[in-house]
Chain A
Amino acid sequence: MAGFVAVLRKDLTLELRGGESTLALVALSILILIVMVFALNPVGGAADAPIAAGALWVAMIFAGMAGAARVVLAERDNGCLRALYLSPLDRGALFLAKLAAASIFMVVAEAAVVVMLVLFFNLDFDGRLARMLPALALGLVGFAALATLLAAISGRVHAGDLLMPLLAVPLYVPALIAGVKASAAALAGAPWSALADWLRIMAAFDVLFIAAGFILFEHLLGED
């Protein structure tokens, strides 16, 4: 637990100082959202709920690939990832600390994106947004877990940076579909029961990605 806290505190200190991951996430998310608005030309209101939900998730995923992975990739500066590998820190705890840091950065970015989404799609700040939060939270944690895992893999292989987008999207598709459906239903004012199945699917994916990361991180950090 002490190691988890030390790594998370260090990552947050570095982020507060440099802001690289969060700024990249926010800027890229908003840019993607703007492109989607221009491309789809929404009329606003509940009728655009599926489009708004789709735009939100596209922004989250593509920005997340650039930003969330940095919590692992930044450790390669000065060989710091090797220092963590050699330290007595449990590698599962290291994965969880990195996941927590990536999730926090994504929460900040997504908060900004949701505000922009409301403005661009002429939505109301009401209970429908609150109903979308569980889907966003589950999707965000799952994607952060996947991005952290893939970032560790990408450091081991030639041209690993290319691997990240090639693997992240296909692996995340089931959770993405569930997230978009749940968000669209929430924005359209559907009852909780209409969201429940989608949320269960997302929760299952979160458990899968987090468990995979917790178990595999140790093997992915070593070198050949």
Chain B
Amino acid sequence: MDAPLIEARGLFKSFGATPVLRGVELEVAPGRGLIIIGRNGAGKSTLLRLLAGLGAPTAGDARLFGVSSRKLEPSARRRLGMLTHQSYLYPNLTARENLEFFRALYRVAAAPTEIPRWLERVGLARFADERVRAFSRGMEQRLALVRALIHRPDALLMDEPFAALDPDGAELAATLIREALERGCAVALTAHRELDFAADRCVSRELVRGRLLDSGAAPARTDAEPRLAHAADAR
């Protein structure tokens, strides 16, 4: 088995006297996905933040590409894609300008047609020169998906990637994540309930009161389309 790209070893996190994560152990290999299921306040977002190196664990270690997440070199950070509840987009820049900025930041040597192609793909081509502040939450989430993927990361951390998306948008997000998995990207994403997509590559584990329960196989797909029931709930 390939070495895991995303790992947590005995990860504890407390805010004051309140424990949020209690000894989380996980690992995600290239081309595999981990769906972390949990209720509101279960610690899902905190876990992803620690995995990304955005916060310091109280104890234990979060690792990306075999290195502690807090000590990633720029070359390793270039291999990470992150999607959170915040879009990380500049409201006063247009969709195209935002993507141009992140492309420059990640030194993506993409063809000039790359950004229009991405915008077309997520259904935002007509809004390429609109400022993000005028976007609906769902449109912003579609653009944030492109921002997280434009540099073809090797590891993806996604906090409820289907939130705020309509059924078409949720299907699109599922397709993009599936494509990332197929090219060898390791994906850890959070959700409120079971997701039925990329079942052959993903494992679901439930986060309950800060403990990540043992893995079980994701439910088999029952029809041709992925079921993303929670997307409708999130809207």
Contact = CB atoms under 8 A, between A and B. Distances in A.
Contacts of A200: none
B78 A10 contact: no
Interface string A1-19: 0110111001001100110
B56 interface: yes
Interface string B168-193: 00000000000000000000000000
B190 to A, nearest CB: 16
Contact of B93 (A7, A10, A79): A10
A77 B77 CA distance: 22
Given A3-B104, A6-B104, A88-B78, A18 B56 contact: no
Nearest to B52: A86
Interface in A141-192: none
A2 B107 CA distance: 8
Contacts of B92: 14, 17-18
A86 B107 contact: no
Contact of A10 (B70, B88, B101): B101
B84 interface: yes
Interface in A57-88: 77-80, 82-88
Given A10-B101, A88-B105, A80 B90 contact: yes
A222 interface: yes
A220 to B, nearest CB: 14
Contact of A82 (B70, B88, B105, B106): B88
Interface in A27-85: 77-80, 82-85
A223 interface: yes
A159 to B, nearest CB: 17
A90 interface: yes
B54 interface: yes
Contacts of A2: 104, 107
B138 interface: no
B89 A78 contact: yes
Interface in B43-88: 49, 52-56, 70, 74-75, 77-78, 80, 82, 84, 86-88
Nearest to A89: B105
B91 interface: yes
Nearest to A15: B92
A126 interface: no
Interface string B17-55: 000000000000000000000000000000001001111
Contacts of A90: 74
B82 A88 contact: no
Nearest to A75: B90
Contacts of A77: 90-91
Contacts of B77: 86-88
Contacts of B53: 86, 222
Contact of B75 (A82, A83, A88, A223): A88
B55 A79 contact: no
Interface in B96-117: 97, 101-102, 104-107
A13 B97 contact: yes
A3 B105 contact: yes
Most buried by B among A10, A77, A84, A89: A10
